[in-house]
Structure 1
């Protein structure tokens, strides 16, 4: 499997209900020094996400325009559009997403993530 496919699968996994409700899996996917700048403007670290995300209401999200830019042999920048379908409406709420992934001991973990509201809906 190539790098782009691997990281797309990991991003999709983090958007899945199974991973979002499982603190152990989240802990496995996020690096110890993980930090997130959320669409809401909040800042989270790994402990915050592992504790709080399993309690959140799940909302289905989809990914489009996925791209990977290798930064070094063991790090990569991922960018994509994330879409949340709104109930009873024909349009979706979109955000631009970026993540930095680091490979350590044959395991990819997310080190950084940022979401920014998008005017493209």
Structure 2
């Protein structure tokens, strides 16, 4: 596998991580920056009119060690052995195949809300 990166303008200040199609998106009413269910993770991002958000997706062991603990550390149902990153208008920002039907996901952000740099580690 490899480290994947994308820089995107996101209309709704967030993107989503899921391992299944047709998922219900959890809403972040409390402005926590990251909210999740077993099937989907909603991640805050920079508003489109302020610039692009850089998103990195990689296996945990392929990333450089991070200086701070992840903002999110949880598991995601991945029955199709795949993790997709997407938003309301971009059906696929990045994706990665995974070896299991449940996948550990860790997320680092350079700011708690509206980050312009997000790292998503799988495994």
TM-score in terms of structure 2 length = 0.29
Which has a greater percent of strand?
Answer: 1
Greater relative CO, 1 or 2 (CA 8 Å, sep 6+):
2
Computing the radius of gyration from Cα coordinates, the structure with the larger value is 1
Which has a greater percent of helix?
Answer: 1
TM-score in terms of structure 1 length = 0.29
